[in-house]
Amino acid sequence: MQGPLVDWVAAKAKAEVVLASLGVTLPMDVPALNLSVLNNNSSKLPSFGAKCRVLIMDEPSAVLGDKDLEKLFKVMRSLKDQGISIIYISHRLVEIFEIADRVTVLKDGAWWGRGMCLT
Protein backbone atom coordinates (compact mmCIF):
# COMPACT_ATOMS: atom_id res chain seq x y z
CA MET A 1 0.00 0.00 0.00
CA GLN A 2 1.36 3.39 -0.94
CA GLY A 3 0.05 6.66 0.46
CA PRO A 4 0.29 10.10 -1.10
CA LEU A 5 3.33 11.07 1.00
CA VAL A 6 4.66 7.81 2.46
CA ASP A 7 5.61 4.66 0.62
CA TRP A 8 4.42 2.30 3.36
CA VAL A 9 5.69 -0.81 1.58
CA ALA A 10 9.21 0.64 1.43
CA ALA A 11 8.97 1.92 5.02
CA LYS A 12 7.95 -1.51 6.32
CA ALA A 13 10.69 -3.21 4.31
CA LYS A 14 13.32 -0.82 5.70
CA ALA A 15 11.99 -1.33 9.26
CA GLU A 16 12.25 -5.10 8.84
CA VAL A 17 15.87 -4.79 7.67
CA VAL A 18 16.82 -2.53 10.60
CA LEU A 19 15.06 -4.76 13.13
CA ALA A 20 16.57 -7.92 11.64
CA SER A 21 20.05 -6.39 11.96
CA LEU A 22 19.32 -6.13 15.69
CA GLY A 23 17.94 -9.66 15.93
CA VAL A 24 14.36 -8.44 16.41
CA THR A 25 11.38 -9.71 14.44
CA LEU A 26 8.01 -8.02 14.66
CA PRO A 27 4.76 -8.43 12.78
CA MET A 28 4.66 -5.33 10.60
CA ASP A 29 0.88 -5.29 10.23
CA VAL A 30 -0.01 -5.33 13.95
CA PRO A 31 -0.76 -1.97 15.58
CA ALA A 32 1.81 -1.05 18.26
CA LEU A 33 -1.02 -0.94 20.79
CA ASN A 34 -1.44 -4.71 20.35
CA LEU A 35 2.25 -5.57 20.83
CA SER A 36 3.89 -6.68 24.08
CA VAL A 37 5.77 -4.00 26.01
CA LEU A 38 9.13 -5.16 24.67
CA ASN A 39 7.86 -5.45 21.10
CA ASN A 40 6.14 -2.08 21.38
CA ASN A 41 9.42 -0.48 22.42
CA SER A 42 11.31 -2.46 19.77
CA SER A 43 8.96 -1.08 17.13
CA LYS A 44 10.60 2.32 17.70
CA LEU A 45 14.04 0.98 16.73
CA PRO A 46 13.75 1.52 12.96
CA SER A 47 14.51 5.18 13.60
CA PHE A 48 18.13 4.01 13.75
CA GLY A 49 17.96 3.72 9.99
CA ALA A 50 18.20 7.52 10.09
CA LYS A 51 21.81 7.41 11.32
CA CYS A 52 21.04 7.70 15.03
CA ARG A 53 24.25 7.98 17.08
CA VAL A 54 22.87 8.28 20.64
CA LEU A 55 19.92 6.53 22.28
CA ILE A 56 18.55 7.66 25.63
CA MET A 57 16.66 5.00 27.57
CA ASP A 58 14.88 6.13 30.74
CA GLU A 59 13.99 3.22 33.04
CA PRO A 60 13.22 0.77 30.19
CA SER A 61 13.35 -2.20 32.55
CA ALA A 62 10.66 -0.88 34.88
CA VAL A 63 7.97 -2.84 33.02
CA LEU A 64 10.02 -5.78 31.72
CA GLY A 65 10.37 -9.29 33.10
CA ASP A 66 13.72 -11.08 33.20
CA LYS A 67 13.24 -12.76 29.80
CA ASP A 68 12.37 -9.50 28.05
CA LEU A 69 15.16 -7.67 29.89
CA GLU A 70 17.73 -10.09 28.49
CA LYS A 71 16.29 -9.52 24.98
CA LEU A 72 16.61 -5.77 25.53
CA PHE A 73 20.24 -6.15 26.62
CA LYS A 74 20.95 -8.24 23.52
CA VAL A 75 19.56 -5.47 21.30
CA MET A 76 21.54 -2.87 23.26
CA ARG A 77 24.76 -4.85 22.75
CA SER A 78 24.03 -5.03 19.03
CA LEU A 79 23.51 -1.26 18.91
CA LYS A 80 26.76 -0.73 20.79
CA ASP A 81 28.58 -2.96 18.28
CA GLN A 82 27.22 -0.68 15.55
CA GLY A 83 28.77 2.36 17.24
CA ILE A 84 25.59 3.73 18.81
CA SER A 85 26.03 5.25 22.26
CA ILE A 86 23.36 4.52 24.86
CA ILE A 87 22.50 6.60 27.88
CA TYR A 88 20.72 4.14 30.17
CA ILE A 89 18.90 5.56 33.17
CA SER A 90 18.04 3.10 35.93
CA HIS A 91 17.75 2.68 39.67
CA ARG A 92 18.69 -0.99 39.35
CA LEU A 93 22.44 -1.22 39.91
CA VAL A 94 22.62 -4.88 38.88
CA GLU A 95 21.56 -3.85 35.37
CA ILE A 96 24.08 -1.03 35.23
CA PHE A 97 26.99 -3.31 36.09
CA GLU A 98 25.82 -5.87 33.52
CA ILE A 99 25.63 -3.51 30.55
CA ALA A 100 27.52 -0.28 31.24
CA ASP A 101 31.05 0.69 30.29
CA ARG A 102 30.90 3.90 32.30
CA VAL A 103 28.58 5.14 35.02
CA THR A 104 27.58 8.56 36.33
CA VAL A 105 25.74 8.77 39.64
CA LEU A 106 23.14 11.44 40.24
CA LYS A 107 21.19 11.77 43.48
CA ASP A 108 18.48 14.33 44.18
CA GLY A 109 19.50 16.20 41.03
CA ALA A 110 23.13 16.50 42.09
CA TRP A 111 26.19 14.89 40.50
CA TRP A 112 27.86 12.44 42.89
CA GLY A 113 30.52 10.91 40.71
CA ARG A 114 31.46 8.80 37.75
CA GLY A 115 33.55 5.77 37.02
CA MET A 116 34.26 2.82 34.80
CA CYS A 117 32.40 -0.47 35.02
CA LEU A 118 34.67 -3.49 34.94
CA THR A 119 32.73 -6.41 33.52
Amino acid of residue 11 = A
Least confident range of 22-26, 51-55, 83-87: 22-26
Please name which of 36, 50, 17 lies closest in space to residue 9, comparing C-alpha atoms. Answer: 17
For residue 6, what are the contacts with CB-CB under 8 A and spacing of at least 6?
A: none
Query: How much of the chain exceeds pLDDT 90, in percent?
Result: 0
DSSP 99: H
Q: Is pTM, for the whole model, over 0.75?
A: no
Greater model confidence, 22 or 80: 80
Q: Which CATH code fits 8-116?
A: 3.40.50.300
- pLDDT level of residue 40 (50, 70, 90 thresholds): very low
Taking the C-alpha atoms of residue 21 and residue 12, their distance in angstroms, rounded to an integer, is: 14
